[in-house]
């Protein structure tokens, strides 16, 4: 069943984005209103002079979250944020979400209410309507599927595939914190499993834990860009690590890039915990995930405008495709970037 005769390709051998690419080859769009289908942060549907943005994410217990250290209220909040971030990455405004869940019989009514308390909190904070969904049973834990619907003016939508040579590369906030928060939680879980008499020690790590358990979408940056009169040439949210997102943006734009290692924004707490784990902070920023910051490119003419924005860093520029994707270290040595961020089908993620 589901097999071609004599052939079996493991999903882990092609990865999540390889699977998406293969699926997209057989997809045909029939309606001119569908301006963008598979391949960006959200689908784009034309509606007069405005477009509708639609995106969806599925979170599966044991793959995307571990309930031994993830409070249900935080999980509900985060499930909404994942999707709102995709709408903002299209330079749009989220308006509605539809939430579907599958739960096993180990979940009580009170547990489901706690999950929806987080969902409602996120909806209230971002002024988004919870417009419906579905509930069903599961034999393998909790599954959450969220679809977010948003809008944007037709001439304001920002895609991944319009970065130009010499455009400046910008990122918001700081990177790697969510990944280090996850490493901390995983370490403390392992210690507790080996010796239940030892209670987890999470004191002093509030910022990193919040970045992992209760991230925020960057609505504030979209507002700032609009107020400053800046329309990015390309944009994507950073959910799978900076390197992976650069690959997506450059591949779809047909370009290369060069970023500067010492320009990548990393919080001092992230750097401190990375050292504790014997990791390089830049590696965490490049290959970690779940920061939900924005990566975008702008015309060089907008440099002075973007320098005036709060919480935005210019980390490099777009180059010709032939130059590849490179990072320059403080000594001037150029390192070839590799996309080693989160991939749902790679076994080491599981």
pLDDT tens across 210-227, in order?
A: 999 999 999 999 999 999
The number of C-alpha atoms within 13 Å of 154 and in the hemisphere containing its C-beta is 9
Q: What is the pLDDT of residue 229?
A: 97
Question: What class is the 31-156 domain?
Answer: alpha beta
Mean pLDDT, residues 261-266 taken together? 98
H or E element in which residue 148 lies = strand 143-153
Q: What is the pLDDT of residue 23?
A: 65
Quick: pLDDT tens for 106-160: 888 899 999 999 999 999 999 998 888 888 889 889 999 999 999 999 999 999 9
Quick: pLDDT tens for 83-113: 999 999 999 999 999 889 898 888 888 999 9
What does pTM read for this prediction? 0.86
Residue identified by tokens 């209220």 is: 73
Q: What is the pLDDT of residue 66?
A: 96
- The domain spans of the chain are 31-156, 168-349
pLDDT tier, 30 (very low <50, low <70, confident <90, very high otherwise): confident
* CATH for the stretch 168-349: 3.90.650.10
* Helices then strands, each counted (H, E), the chain: 10, 13
What is the side-by-side order of every strand in the sheet holding 50-60?
34-36, 43-47, 50-60, 143-153, 93-103, 129-137
Whether the CB-CB separation of 255 and 317 falls below 8 Å is answered with: no
pLDDT tops 70 at residue 350: no
Q: What is the pLDDT of residue 348?
A: 44
């Amino acid at each position: 069943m589901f097999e071609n005769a004599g052939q079996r390709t493991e999903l882990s051998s092609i990865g999540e984005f390889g699977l998406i690419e293969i699926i997209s080859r057989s997809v045909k769009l029939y309606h001119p209103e569908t301006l963008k289908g598979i391949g960006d942060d959200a689908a784009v549907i034309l509606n007069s002079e405005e477009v509708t943005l639609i995106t969806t994410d599925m979170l599966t217990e044991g793959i995307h979250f571990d309930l031994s250290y993830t409070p249900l209220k935080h999980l509900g909040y985060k499930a909404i944020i994942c999707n709102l971030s995709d709408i903002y990455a299209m330079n749009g405004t989220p308006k509605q979400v539809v939430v579907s869940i599958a739960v096993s019989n180990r979940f009580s009514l009170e547990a489901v209410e706690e999950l929806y308390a987080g969902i409602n909190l996120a909806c209230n904070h971002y002024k988004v309507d919870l417009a419906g969904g579905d509930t069903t049973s599961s034999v393998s834990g909790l599954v959450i599927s969220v679809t977010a619907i948003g809008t944007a003016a037709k001439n304001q939508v920002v895609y991944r595939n319009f970065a130009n040579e010499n455009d400046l590369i910008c990122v918001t906030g700081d990177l790697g914190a969510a990944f280090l928060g996850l490493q901390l939680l995983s370490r403390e879980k392992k210690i507790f499993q080996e010796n239940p008499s030892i209670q987890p020690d999470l004191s002093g790590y509030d910022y990193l834990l919040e970045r992992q358990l209760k991230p925020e979408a960057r609505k504030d940056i979209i507002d700032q860009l609009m107020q400053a009169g800046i329309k990015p040439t390309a944009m994507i949210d950073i959910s799978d690590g900076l390197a992976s997102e650069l690959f997506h943006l450059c591949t779809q734009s047909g370009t290369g890039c060069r970023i500067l290692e010492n320009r990548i924004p990393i919080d001092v707490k992230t750097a401190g915990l990375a050292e504790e784990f014997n990791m390089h902070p830049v590696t965490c920023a490049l290959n970690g995930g779940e920061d939900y910051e924005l990566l975008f490119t702008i015309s060089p003419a907008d440099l002075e405008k973007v320098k005036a924005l709060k919480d935005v860093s210019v980390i490099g520029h777009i180059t010709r495709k032939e130059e590849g994707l490179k990072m320059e270290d403080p000594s001037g040595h150029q390192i070839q970037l590799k996309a080693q961020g989160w991939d749902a089908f790679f076994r080491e993620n599981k």
